[in-house]
């Protein structure tokens, strides 16, 4: 089983799956999509063989994590949101408005908050729902650039500056067990050659 992060650009996922099918046409692929540290947790629990996306915050014995790329995260809001209309904003302005925060699904452990600035936050485990609520003006949030580039171009949404530390890019890790890989179909994904994957 392969588990990938919702942050992984869809075009990169499609490219990888197409290459996998061309190389191993008789192998049935099971694909799960999770968020943040849930990707690494599925590999840690033995549910998935390979994870591409958010890793674990601590080093776990028996697991290998390889950095394979980054996805740029940008703060965005609907074009009619006060943060978009007031751009540039004074320091701390984003803290006064509701932040939409991506979290992991139960029963996974949420881990430490990353990129959370507002005390008023709505948490959700679905990136699509977060995207829709952002465009509806229900709050602002940090989004992967590939997910909102069309919205920014059409001016449905706007990126804004609030003079707080720029959000770090989301690190994309390949997580796998260090135990020998039995099936050759898993070896290309689990090898150090995975570092050639580009996500931005």
Question: For 199, how many CA atoms within 13 A lie in the half-sphere containing its CB?
Answer: 29
| Predicted pLDDT at 80 | 92
Q: Is 199 exposed, middle or buried (0-12, 13-18, 19+ CB in 10 A)?
A: buried
The Cα 125–Cα 83 span in angstroms is 24
Please, are residues 111 and 37 in contact by the beta-carbon 8 Å criterion? Answer: yes
| Predicted pLDDT at 166 | 53
Per mean pLDDT, which range of 65-69, 107-111, 159-163 is the poorest? Answer: 107-111
CA-based angle 57:60:63, to the nearest 5? Answer: 110
Structural domains present in the chain: 2-70+170-196 (3.40.190.10), 73-159 (3.40.190.290)
| Predicted pLDDT at 113 | 57
The Cα 61–Cα 44 span in angstroms is 10
| Predicted pLDDT at 56 | 66
| Predicted pLDDT at 125 | 85
pTM to 2 decimal places: 0.76
Structure confidence by residue, pLDDT tens digits, 64-87? 888 888 888 889 999 999 998 887
Please, are residues 57 and 37 in contact by the beta-carbon 8 Å criterion? Answer: yes
- Two tokens, residue 130: 């977060």
Q: Is 36 exposed, middle or buried (0-12, 13-18, 19+ CB in 10 A)?
A: buried
Matching residue, tokens 């978009």: 84
Q: What is the DSSP string of 55-77?
A: --SS--TTEEEEEEEEE-EEEEE
The whole-number average pLDDT for the span 7-24 is 86
What SS3 state is found at 116?
Answer: coil
């Amino acid at each position: 089983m392969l588990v990938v992060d919702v942050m992984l650009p869809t075009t990169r996922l499609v490219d990888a799956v197409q290459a996998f099918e061309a190389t191993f046409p008789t192998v049935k692929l099971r694909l799960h999509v999770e968020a943040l540290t849930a990707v690494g947790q599925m590999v840690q629990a033995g549910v998935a063989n390979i994870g591409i996306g958010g890793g674990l915050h601590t080093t776990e014995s028996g697991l290998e994590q390889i950095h394979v790329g980054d996805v740029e995260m940008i703060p965005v809001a609907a074009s009619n949101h006060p943060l978009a209309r007031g751009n540039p904003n004074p320091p701390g302005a984003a803290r006064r408005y509701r932040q939409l925060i991506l979290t992991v699904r139960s029963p996974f452990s949420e881990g430490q908050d990353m990129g959370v600035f507002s005390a008023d936050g709505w948490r959700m485990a679905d990136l699509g729902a977060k995207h829709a609520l952002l465009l509806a003006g229900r709050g602002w949030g940090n989004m992967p650039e590939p997910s909102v580039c069309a919205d920014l171009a059409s001016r449905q949404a706007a990126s804004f500056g609030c003079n707080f530390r720029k959000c770090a890019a989301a690190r994309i890790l390949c997580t796998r067990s260090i135990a020998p890989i039995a099936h050759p179909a898993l070896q290309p994904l689990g090898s150090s050659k995975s570092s050639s994957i580009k996500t931005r």
